[in-house]
Amino acid sequence: MISLEDCIALCGLKESEVLAIAEHEHVPEIVAAGLAETLLKREHGVDGVRHMIVEDIRSAHERGDLHHVHELLVCLKNFLDEHPEAIPASVHNPKLIT
């Protein structure tokens, strides 16, 4: 039998990133691991993962859960370190910001 840990290891993301997807999509972690694998195979799928993590950060901030905000910011940093192609062009080139 394949475990949740196995699915996370095979999906291409870290556990914290899969948990952020599960939180965002309101699905079990095992479903989030499958979604993560699908997204990573899709063109611009990393942008979707980044967007989910950012929305989770906003939600945690709005409800005043600063500990979770910190956890998710670390998750986002690690994700962007691993997937720099998910960094928006405006961050790479500040002249694009209007």
Average pLDDT, 10 consecutive residues per value, the chain (98 residues): 87 95 96 95 95 98 98 97 90 55
pLDDT at 1: 81
Chain centroid offset of residue 43 CA: 16
pTM: 0.87
User: How far is it, in rounded angstroms, from Cα 52 to Cα 63?
Assistant: 17
